Amino acid sequence: MTCLQQTLKRSIKAAGIGLHTGARVTMRMRPAPADSGIRFVRTDLDPVALIPASAEYVIDTALATTVGNGSGSVSTIEHLMAALVGMGVDNLIIDIDGPEIPAMDGSAYPFVSLIKEAGFYIQGAPRRYIEILDPITVRSGDKYITISPCSDFNVLAEIAFDHPSIARQKFDSLVTPNIFERHISRARTFGFLKEIERLKENGLALGGTIDNAIVLDEVSVLNQGGLRFSDEFVRHKVLDLIGDISLLGMPVLGRVCSFKGGHAIHNLLNREILNRPYAWRKVELDTDWRMMPSFSPKMEDVSAGTSL
């Protein structure tokens, strides 16, 4: 049985404030036809702006990933995109009445809960995957990402921060909906108090609070509840990577190795993949490796870190 595309069974709503704009927004995610992909509609603009969640429409990667089409844009899409592709949603329309996806708790988990609440609708069209045939590497300063051939999708990410609460962290895991939900989706975005103050002075991070991000001073984590995972920082980098790579428009079969990844280099990788069509091909799969029992979530699948 061929793997088929999925949309949601019914519409779901989310509301909240944007991390950077501080704008209060409401969005409605509604089922969409097969082969239509994931698209945003800025319903507050006249005429409304239709913006595909696609690498070609990325217009900014400075602090978050922003897609735009003409005068309409939607920013900080990466956590929502990670939730959608991580859980296996191929087609969806997202109506939004403001410029930025709500920050929720700074992770993808609130979106995962909403997706599960709505349920999946299996569509009559085969899902196509991007199968990587030749390794592709992108670099920017001391950062790099390589994607190489692999029969599933797995990620090795490493980060290095000159901060005692983060330091060097590594996370290496297969990515399936179960593993995504349990080990990746709850990891929150993070920021440094000094940096957040500087951003706020410049009109950014206006919606950023201790309720939607891990905030660090010079020596420690300021959030009262502490961390959700001992290596929550690198897990969030994996979450961002899953969200950003989803802008290729199809799930990927490949192994991603990322060192000091971020939105800019993730999007550089997307562009490099699209620029090298001979390095990959579109395939359909007979069995969904992501749903096979051998890929049920076990801590052994996750080689680094522990759940707290």
User: Which residues in this chain contact Zn ion in the complex, by CB under 5 A?
Assistant: 189, 240
Closer CB to Zn ion, 5 or 189, in the complex: 189
CB 108 within 8 A of CB 76: no
Q: Which helix (H) or strand (E) holds 169?
A: strand 168-174
Contacts of 183 (CB under 8 A, 6+ apart): 173, 229, 235, 297, 302, 307
Backbone φ and ψ for 112, nearest 5 degrees, come out as -60, -45
Closer CB to Zn ion, 132 or 256, in the complex: 256
Query: Catalytic annotation on 263?
Result: yes
Closer CB to Zn ion, 73 or 189, in the complex: 189
In the complex, least distance from residue 243 CB atom to Zn ion, rounded to whole angstroms: 7
Q: Find the catalytic residue in 79, 183, 236, 263.
A: 263
User: What's the distance, CA 220 to chain centroid?
Assistant: 26
Degrees (nearest 5) of the Cα angle 152, 155, 157?
170
In the complex, least distance from residue 283 CB atom to Zn ion, rounded to whole angstroms: 29
Closer CB to Zn ion, 172 or 240, in the complex: 240
In the complex, least distance from residue 166 CB atom to Zn ion, rounded to whole angstroms: 15
Q: d(Cα 64, Cα 191) in Å, to the nearest integer?
A: 13
What is the pairing mode between strands 12-17 and 280-284? unpaired
CB 269 within 8 A of CB 138: yes
In the complex, least distance from residue 236 CB atom to Zn ion, rounded to whole angstroms: 6
- Residues facing 92 on adjacent strands: 31, 38
Q: d(Cα 74, Cα 190) in Å, to the nearest integer?
A: 21
Q: SS3 of 196, please?
A: helix
In the complex, least distance from residue 109 CB atom to Zn ion, rounded to whole angstroms: 12
Closer CB to Zn ion, 101 or 253, in the complex: 101
The set of catalytic residues is 263
